[in-house]
Amino acid sequence: MQDMLTLWCVSDGKPGHHSQLSGLASALVERQYCRVRWFETAHQPLRQAAGAGQSPDLILCAGHRTHQHSLHLKWRYGGKLVVLMKPSLPRWLFDLCIVPRHDGLAPGRHVLLTEGSLTDIRYTPVRSGGRGLILIGGPSRNHGWSDLQMLSQLEALQASDPDRHWTITTSRRTPASFTTALQALSSQHCDVLSVEQTNREWLRQQFATAEQIWVSEDSASMVYEGLASGARVGILAVPRRRSGRVSRGLDQLVSANHVCTLATALQTRAALPPSPPPLRETERVAKHLLERFSYEWSMPGRESAPGFAPPR
């Protein structure tokens, strides 16, 4: 393999997609010297690339809006193109699609399945036994919302474990009425922070230290991030409008005893299930990419793949 790979990351600016790209880029850098360059769809990646100098060995993209931009980069400058989602364009256009298993695709030449989405959350073995993190989402396409139901669950959770110090935070989808009502739970044993008071670095620190992480079930990506961190993970119920692929994926985690619903925990008075082996999907994918494309990247005298014309 050549001494240094040139890695281009194409983002649509959405925090979740950026975190997936950042996590995989970091995992690649840990295993191989990489020259990393970022492109935003809002700033015309093809124009940005004009002054890049070194052509890419690998292009990563996440978000439907990145697909065409990334394909144009590949057609112009070459490199292997990997999309971190189920693409909205034909899969054969990409060298590899990294797709969560719950999206329902079969593995194949152009598809590598993962348990949940990739993340920049890393496994941390040593944790504070007295700390708990609660992540609140909000209504979505597949889920409704009830302020009363969620408040009742949080009160029951606190009452069942009064000696634990809780940190509760919201998301951009959390209704303003619930954010206001949450302040009633604030105490010396419970910190309440709105999403505006936090950032991604703060969240990574919480994932690294909390022994227990409870997530409202509408926030499936946070459930998988909790499992990646090595914490024990529980699910708070939210009204379901319909049962989709993501909901079925969470149900499978419950059935496998990897996570626990609050209703079950309160009914059985049992502790959260022991942490399963942490999901290290981001690291696994990084290793897979380096092994899969290493032969072509090590071709003698090759600096980077030449571009080629797009199909007509």
Sheet holding 128-135, edge to edge: 190-193, 165-169, 128-135, 210-216, 232-236, 260-261
Spatial separation of the C-alpha atoms in residues 205 and 207, rounded to whole Å: 5
Residue 235: CATH number of its domain:
3.40.50.2000
Number of compact structural domains in the chain: 2
Task: Indicate whether 145 and 232 sit together in one domain.
Answer: yes
Would you state the pLDDT for residue 93?
A: 96
Would you state the pLDDT for residue 99?
A: 96
Would you state the pLDDT for residue 271?
A: 64
Task: Indicate whether 108 and 135 sit together in one domain.
Answer: no
Would you state the pLDDT for residue 49?
A: 85
Question: 210-216 and 190-193: which strand pairing?
Answer: unpaired
Task: Indicate whether 135 and 254 sit together in one domain.
Answer: yes
pTM: 0.86
Task: Indicate whether 253 and 143 sit together in one domain.
Answer: yes
In a domain, residue 312? The reply is: no
Give bridge partners of residue 35 from the DSSP assignment.
Answer: 6
Instruction: Per-residue pLDDT tens, the chain, 312 aa: give them.
Output: 456 899 999 999 999 999 999 999 999 999 999 999 999 998 888 888 887 778 999 999 999 999 999 999 999 999 999 999 999 999 999 999 999 998 889 999 999 999 999 999 999 886 767 899 999 999 999 999 999 999 999 999 999 999 999 999 999 999 999 999 999 999 989 999 999 999 999 999 999 999 999 999 999 999 999 999 999 999 999 999 988 888 888 998 999 889 999 999 888 776 676 777 888 999 999 999 999 998 566 554 444 444 444 433
Task: Indicate whether 133 and 260 sit together in one domain.
Answer: yes
Task: Indicate whether 151 and 55 sit together in one domain.
Answer: no
Would you state the pLDDT for residue 270?
A: 62
In a domain, residue 273? The reply is: no
Residue 37: CATH number of its domain:
3.40.50.2300
116: left (phi over 0), alpha (psi -120 to 50) or beta: left
Domain range for 69 is 5-120+281-297
**Cα torsion for 219, 225, 230, 231, to the nearest 10°?**
-20
Would you state the pLDDT for residue 52?
A: 72
